[in-house]
Structure 1
Amino acid sequence: MSCNWPEYYIDELKAPAKGAIAMGPFGSRIKAENFVSSGVPVLKGGNLHGAYVDDSDCDFLTEEKADELKSSIAFEGDIVITHRGTIGQVSIISEDAKYPRYVVSQSQLKISLDRKKVNPYYVNYYLRSHLGQHQLLSFASQVGVPAIAQASTSVKQIRVPCPPLDIQNKIVEFIRSVDKKIANNTQTNQTLEQMAQAIFKSWFVDFDPVKAKMNGEQPEGMDEATAALFPDKLVESELGLIPEGWNIQPLSDVSRVINGRAYKNSEFREKGTPIVRIQNLTGAGKTVYSDIDLPQDKLIDHGDLIFAWSATFGPYLWRGPKSIYHYHIWKMEVDENKFGKYLLFMHLARLTEYLKNQGTGSIFTHLTKGIMESQKLVVPFEGVVQAFAKVVTPLFVQIDALHKQNKTLESLREILLPKLLSGELELEQTEELAEVS
């Protein structure tokens, strides 16, 4: 077991080129008028939420402006760290990056490493682990805006335990295989939900089956029994043309909207029933607990439909364990015969921007329960509701299974990463785990 790996300062591991460790440009060097619709992307804190830089949403500078900021340019294999604001963010520009080069913003710095000495992905994982985070955050200033004091100098002093390169490469290979599996599962889930949304739009927004029957055609991709559930005529309603025989009803007729419970910080516990707060819906924020015994309508089970009506706005299918839901979240107790959970979920997803505009609040949008309950919905025949549930339920079951698999993989990664980095796990064990993953 190789627990006595030599440690090197990042300053010793940096690339030999000038400016291998460099801060982003001063704010005055990038002004609002410098941003353009395409060009060289600028990396900010919002691009550093995971192990790999997310370049799907960036501001851009012209090639000429980027050339002026040469010392702040980052390339594939460079590590980007937030040194002011949300300190501790660490991401690497991976080989899957969309662009050949990037500019780091004034709150970030970049590290270029000598690949003859160290695998940059290995250092990235180390800096993201609790071992590396402990060192990085030890330089944090306790005064004013959160910041790493003398950021570039501080980062150079971080020590990294370095096994031989072949062992580093094996560790990276294992972690990246887990990350890629998680990414593939996430992409599959997005595709599955898009498939469900396409069916929803066809049946309940565009009314394609009804229009096909009006033209004397068989609805595309639909068996005769399902097609027979749809009428062959559209009629006027207060919401425009809708299938004949379908009704306009308020949301309160198809679902109860149940308030969550307001908690004080003094009521939070270290153990008990988890409390789902707004920040937990996006995977952020510490989970807190309660030891208060509550009735079932104040609890949510795995798979329940909920709606966040403040800040993180919109519908969610809860993927966690039985929990208490906090104030600012409603539980939607849907009548499965009248409407169905997945049908309401997709209706609310489509209405989210509209509902947000119905709310109030200067910082966060707040939506009232009355406004939600009064929303008018086109309610189809019961047979159509059941047919839709039959079609989309397998898609959401698969989404849930892949989500659970991702949670298992994430837990595996978080447990094993520090053991791999410290040498507590043998290389042979790592290879076995990589094969399993």
Structure 2
Amino acid sequence: MSCSEWKEYKLGDIIDDIIDNRGKTPPTVEEGIELIETACLIGNNKNIDFNKVSKYVSLETYKTWFRSGHPKVDDILISLVGANMGNLCIVKEERGAIAQNLVGIRLNKNICNPQFIYYVLSSYNTQQALKNMNRGSAQPNLKISDLVNLNIKLPSLEEQGKIADILSSLDDKIELNNEMNKTLEEMAQSIFKRWFVDFEFPNEDGLPYKSSGGEMVESELGMIPKGWEVKTIEEISTTVSKGTTPTKKDMDSAEDENNINFIKVKDIDDYGEICLDNLEKIPESVHNGKLKRSILYEKDILFSIAGTIGRVTAIDKTLNNSNMNQAIAFIRLKDCRNMFNFIFYLLKSEKTQNDIKSNIVQAVQANVSLGVLKAIKFVQPSKEILDKYNNIAMNIYDKQQNIRYENNDLKIIRDNLLPKLMSGEIILDKKIIIY
């Protein structure tokens, strides 16, 4: 079907039902049915992120409060307010209730394929159209009355299905890779805890050290294996510093283009991945001038110290020579080759996270000082044990990085295909499956 044969509709013409809240926050409980909020809709993520759920409602509230029902499979949820305005996802299972500032649309499947409509709504052109509908002043705000008047072109149902299958196969592979990375992350943290918190690393006979009678000695951090030392982050680093936000004057006076990646806490997810999709850019002149002290290089370790505190990530080759704002600290190690994996997972460990969060200062925005980060004490293992650990940890880290690189490639393919498929520039003769 050529593009000229696509039919134009208003979004409201293909909607069977609209699901929304009363416009108020429902009464919540400590445990119950998940309340899906705007934070659960992440840009370029097709699925609801239930890990972001922080509120729950009782069964009674679930049955009586939500006047328009609840999300069902193939409903599309759209964020109406705030920084996440326009973010969307497609429901995979009947689970949870939607909070205010979200709307669900239930589509007429005789006219459209919900998966296809999800991709239409997530495309660049549609996202820009949604941003242009913003009626907010203090914060972005999208009205349902404007949303239903959005113009959408549709090919035949068969063509919609073919297009949705291609794009879904890419998203399915990305999701599978994400699950693999989560498993690798859990494995890495489990190994770190067993070796360096429980001190059950393998001894010379391959048996767990501490429970097999390995010699322990007294230290300021309690009993530790003989030959190990107590160190601080500052002692093993060449630099522990933080970023800066360039002033409006600096940005306006720069004559070169914005081409340097600028990382903020919001760009670092809960699993330590830096989301490349929406990274801000700054001019190279500002990067090498006012912000030169926070130029980042490969294997610098980042730790969020304001707002959402405790997110840990590292700079890889794709972000070498980037920069960041003041809510993130970076650690540059003296002996990166031997200490990188150990410090990386030390900062992610439950004990370190708890120690740092116990030193949070509640000001306008929650924060911890660089001094707290520098003063973190840990038990440094012997070189022999560190070498054995690195052989395992680096293999896991490299696998995670390779998966991230593959996902970036898949996202590029998807994002390049999306506008061409949505516009009819690419015409499909048969179903394509991507493994």
TM-score, scaled relative to structure 1: 0.84
1:255 aligned onto 2:247: no
Describe the SS at the equivalent of 2:425.
coil
The aligned runs of 1:103-114 (5 Å cut-off) are 103-114=97-108
2:9 aligned with 1:3: no
Deviation, 1:289, is 3.5
Deviations 1:19-61 (A, max 9, x none): x124321317x234xx35124x332101211322223444333
Residue aligning to 2:183: 191
How many Å separate the matches in 1 of 2:280 and 2:293? 24
Asked whether 1:306 is paired with 2:335, we answer no
1:156 matches 2:148: yes
Q: CA deviation at 1:285?
A: 4.7
2:272 aligns with none
How many Å apart are 1:90 and its aligned residue?
Answer: 1.7
Question: Which residue in the other structure is 1:264 paired with?
Answer: 247
Structure 2 letter corresponding to 1:207: F
Asked if 1:82 is matched to 2:83, the reply is no
CA shift in 2, pair 1:302/1:167, >3 Å: farther
| Corresponding residue SS for 2:365 | coil
Q: Does 1:60 align with 2:48?
A: no
Distance in 2 between the 1:194 and 1:355 partners? 21
- Structure 2 contact 263–325 (Cα < 8 Å) conserved: no
Structure 1 CA distance for aligned equivalents of residues 201 and 51 of structure 2: 36
Contact conserved, 2:22 with 2:67, CA < 8 A, in 1?
Answer: no
What residue is the counterpart of 1:275 in the other structure?
262
Taking a change above 3 Å as real, the CA distance of residues 37 and 142 of structure 1, as seen in their structure-2 partners, is closer
Q: Is the 8 A contact 2:3 2:424 kept in 1?
A: yes
CA, structure 1 residues 36+195, in 2 after alignment: closer, same or farther (shift >3 Å)?
closer
Q: Which residue identity lines up with residue 132 of structure 2 in the other structure?
A: S
Amino acid paired to 1:288: I
State the identity as a percent: 22
Equivalents in 2 of 1:43, 1:413: separation in Å?
27
Q: Residues 19 and 71 of structure 2 are in contact (CA less than 8 Å); yes or no, is this contact kept in structure 1?
A: no
Which residue number in structure 1 is paired with residue 280 of structure 2?
286
Match of 1:219 in 2: 207
- The answer on whether the counterparts of 2:420 and 2:426 sit within 8 Å (CA) in structure 1 is yes
TM-score (norm 2): 0.85
Aligned residues: 408
In structure 1, give the amino acid aligned to 2:304. Answer: A
Determine the C-alpha separation between the residues in 2 that align with 1:375 and 1:331. Answer: 14
Q: Give unpaired runs (5+ residues) of structure 1.
A: 221-226
The alpha carbon displacement at 1:377 in A equals 1.6
Cα distance per residue 1:401-432 (max 9 Å; x no partner):
1101111111111111111111111214x845
Partner amino acid for 2:62? Answer: A
Q: Is 2:233–2:377's contact at 8 Å kept on the other side of the alignment?
A: yes
Matches within 5 A, 1:323-334: 323-328=321-326, 329-334=328-333
Q: Counterpart of 1:344? A: 343
User: Counterparts of 2:165 and 2:132 in 1: how far apart (Å)?
Assistant: 29
Cα distance change on mapping 1:310 and 1:290 into 2, 3 Å? farther
Establish whether residue 318 from structure 1 lines up as the match of residue 315 from structure 2: yes
Q: Distance in 2 between matches of 1:45 and 1:64?
A: 23
Corresponding position: 1:407 with 2:402: no
- Contact 2:46/2:89, CA 8 A, preserved across alignment: yes
Amino acid at match of 1:67: K
Aligned to 1:193, what secondary structure does the other structure show? helix
**Residue 120 of structure 1: aligned partner:** 114
Tell me by how many angstroms 1:181 deviates.
0.8
> Could you tell me how far apart the structure 2 residues matched to 1:348 and 1:179 are?
31
Partners of 2:113 and 2:408 lie apart in 1 by 27
**Structure 1 residue 376, shift from structure 2 partner:** 1.8
CA–CA distance in structure 2, aligned partners of residues 285 and 353 of structure 1: 29
Cα distance change of structure 1 residues 303 and 426 upon mapping to structure 2, 3 Å threshold: farther
Which has the higher mean CA deviation after the structures are superposed, 153-162 or 343-352?
Answer: 153-162
Distance (Å, rounded) in 2 between the aligned partners of 1:364 and 1:143:
23
Any conservation in 2 of the 1:307–1:316 contact (CA below 8 Å)? yes
Q: Check whether the contact 1:261–1:298 (CA below 8 A) recurs between aligned residues.
A: yes
